[in-house]
Structure 1
Amino acid sequence: MEAGEFAAVAEPFRRELTTHCYRMLGAADEAQDVVQETYLRAWRGWGRFEGRSSVRVWLYRIATNACLTALGQRARRPLPSGLGAPADEPGAEATFDPDLPWLQPLADDPADTVVRRESLRLALIASLQLLPPRQRAVLLLREVLEFPAADVASLLDMSVPAVKSSLQRARATLDAARGEPLSDPASPEARAQLDAYMAAFVDTDMTALEEALRKDATLEVVPSRTWFAGKATCVPYLASVLGYPGEWAMFPVGANGQPAVVVYRAGIAFGVVLLSPTPTGLAGIVLFTGADQVDRFGYPPVLPPTAPSPAR
């Protein structure tokens, strides 16, 4: 088969394979690398593909096993809240750990369905990291992708009873870690909370920012192990970084099926914030700092002087 013919058969599955690998690995960059490796392996092995399964199932077999190999070589990817208790004081010195393999956000695809977006929520991706890699693969293949148990057993070289047992254990772990449902990011309440958050920062309105948060809101900044829980610590910390009017510029994007903003400070790319909206206010703020995070969403490292902030 010529390269063009192979691409025509295999390329339609690239986006969904990338999403699957992201769920497995918790990192957008790593997922793209694994998918690239998957296509290279598939191209090299195309002559041995005998059509006993669909091309889609065959690609998932290669990709999932590549993910399992990658996961065997490193520790899980956490968020700060997965590493210890929150700080008691808003002025607590941040403990940065840039060498830790942190969880990364994934930019939304406009073509994603509601179900696909919900399966990418940041809290769920973090919870998946608690599962042993093979359990994680079983759960994703069965629950998210809805592959039959027999197909999963074939993909992972397991027996059907072993697949069912792994799925049961994975469900039990996730049920214990499952958080409350979030508002649909397209809902009026979620949009209003996103707008209020952006406007509060751009206008240096601490009152509005405090009103946007729930009493039990959490605040996390990657790559710091230090995080905060509750308004008593979140609000003073935010006040310490709020700065002056116009210092911050924010642009709404979508990430992990949640409202998000690309953030600039004094015109320099600062990071990406993911928000967790609920009917009673923002339950969580996670900031992923760094120009590399901004670049993943297609924004430049330096903001053009004429670019207005949508929050204004």
Structure 2
Amino acid sequence: MSVARVTFCAMNAFHAVADPFRRELLAHCYRMVGSVHDAEDLVQETYLRAWRAYDRFEQRSSVRTWLYRIATRVCLTALEGRGRRPMPTGLGGQRCDPGDEPFRPPEITWLEPFPDRDDDPASIVVGRESLRLALVAALQHLPPRQRAVLVLRDVLQWRAAEVAEALEVSVAAVNSLLQRARAQLDSVAPQQDQLVEQPEQRELLDRYVRAFEAKDVAAIVELFTADAVWEMPPFATWYQGRQDIAWHLANRCPAVPGGQRLIPVSANGQPGFANYLRGEDGVLRAFNIQVLTVGPSGVSHAAVFLDTGLYAAFGLPEVLTAAEG
């Protein structure tokens, strides 16, 4: 058998055992780095390194564990010398006056949302609580090694000895890193959101779409809690409370009644919308991706990502056709 034939068979064998874990590795890398685009690159690097080492894989652990070990090391290397990806509320500043001009700092690389998919494997569906936007934002406050230990121990439920082997440190070091990570996370992570039953959430979201597309500001903010937060990277500006959110929507948002189209999406295990803005030529173009936190009292948080480059990650076009609009 030729060398090329042997290599082809080996590559097929590798992909057969490794490819089923690609999507959950993407979620793992996203938790580590806070960017779906960077996570995709890191998964590619993980599979490249795994393929190169496949002939030396001794099967002392499962393929899944082996791939996670490689992915974690790839992420830690990528995070060396790199700043964290925050949300505007995570910068430590006070809520903003809606009358002030929104501020866009050029030096900050922001957290991105993670698109959910209908065909996500069970490992992701079950673990979507660990993908919620607020938690991933809180993880960004941890140094990379603490972040890795926390994710491996508390999300993936690895034993301390497995984490120690993956990170090439002692079990005592793993336990120390985990203790510090949990303490830090407790100081920055928000309270767990109370989940809302699907029928009630669907009815609220339907009202949200109708109010937004009509640009009925009073109807929109009626769906928010009294202390709701509205933030919109890449602007560091963020607002809190119905009155400030209403002022922003009424005076800053460029849409007119009938000038927006909201397409439902799901991100980080949360409901959301891809918002298209109608231009003077009548064409609906990508405007923002909204990820909402919905509780029993209404929408408590709106993360509005003004990065139209995210639309491709959600499998959405940047321009809607006449039929779609």
Give the alignment's TM-score, normalised by structure 2: 0.90
Q: Does 1:101 align with 2:109?
A: yes
Quick one: which amino acid aligns to residue 56 of structure 2?
A: R
Q: Does 1:73 align with 2:81?
A: yes
SS at match of 2:302: strand
Structure 1 partner of 2:49: 41
Shift of 1:109: 2.6
Deviations 1:132-188 (A, max 9, x none): 110110010011001111111100111111111111111111122222333447622
Quick one: which amino acid aligns to residue 61 of structure 1?
A: R
Instruction: Give the distance between the partners of 1:226 and 1:63, measured in 2 at CA.
Output: 34
Query: Of residues 291, 295, 310 in structure 1, which corresponds to 2:312?
Result: 295
Structure 1 partner of 2:265: 253
Q: Does 1:225 align with 2:225?
A: no
Instruction: Give the distance between the partners of 2:238 and 2:188, measured in 1 at CA.
Output: 18
Q: Does 1:163 align with 2:174?
A: yes
Structure 2 partner of 1:275: 292
Which one is further off, 240-249 or 273-282? Answer: 240-249
Quick one: which amino acid aligns to residue 235 of structure 1?
A: A
Whether contact under 8 Å (1:185, 1:258) holds in the other structure is no
Whether contact under 8 Å (1:102, 1:222) holds in the other structure is yes
Instruction: Give the distance between the partners of 2:318 and 2:194, measured in 1 at CA.
Output: 31
Instruction: Give the distance between the partners of 2:230 and 2:288, measured in 1 at CA.
Output: 15
Shift of 1:76: 0.2
Whether contact under 8 Å (1:108, 1:254) holds in the other structure is yes
Structure 2 partner of 1:172: 183
Instruction: Give the distance between the partners of 1:277 and 1:15, measured in 2 at CA.
Output: 26
Shift of 1:84: 3.3
Q: CA RMSD in A?
A: 1.6
Q: Does 1:84 align with 2:96?
A: no
Which one is further off, 18-27 or 170-179? Answer: 170-179
Whether contact under 8 Å (2:86, 2:109) holds in the other structure is yes
Shift of 1:204: 1.7
Query: Of residues 15, 21, 24 in structure 2, which corresponds to 1:16?
Result: 24
Instruction: Give the distance between the partners of 2:102 and 2:236, measured in 1 at CA.
Output: 7
SS at match of 1:168: helix
Quick one: which amino acid aligns to residue 251 of structure 1?
A: I
Give the alignment's TM-score, normalised by structure 1: 0.94
Q: Percent identity?
A: 48
Structure 1 partner of 2:15: 7
How many corresponding residue pairs? Answer: 308
Structure 1 partner of 2:151: 140
Q: Does 1:64 align with 2:72?
A: yes
Structure 1 partner of 2:6: none
Shift of 1:290: 2.6
Quick one: which amino acid aligns to residue 311 of structure 2?
A: V
Instruction: Give the distance between the partners of 2:193 and 2:199, measured in 1 at CA.
Output: 13
Structure 2 partner of 1:127: 138
SS at match of 2:230: strand
5+ residue gaps, structure 2: 1-8, 279-283
Quick one: which amino acid aligns to residue 125 of structure 1?
A: V
Quick one: which amino acid aligns to residue 85 of structure 2?
A: R
Whether contact under 8 Å (1:185, 1:259) holds in the other structure is no
Q: Does 1:191 align with 2:221?
A: no
Quick one: which amino acid aligns to residue 253 of structure 1?
A: V
Quick one: which amino acid aligns to residue 303 of structure 2?
A: V
Shift of 1:30: 0.5
Instruction: Give the distance between the partners of 1:87 and 1:283, measured in 2 at CA.
Output: 15
Shift of 1:73: 3.0
SS at match of 2:263: strand
Whether contact under 8 Å (1:202, 1:246) holds in the other structure is yes
SS at match of 1:303: coil
Whether contact under 8 Å (2:218, 2:246) holds in the other structure is no
Whether contact under 8 Å (1:204, 1:242) holds in the other structure is no
SS at match of 1:104: coil
Quick one: which amino acid aligns to residue 158 of structure 1?
A: V
Shift of 1:98: 4.6
Q: Does 1:54 align with 2:73?
A: no
Whether contact under 8 Å (1:218, 1:285) holds in the other structure is yes
Whether contact under 8 Å (2:255, 2:277) holds in the other structure is no
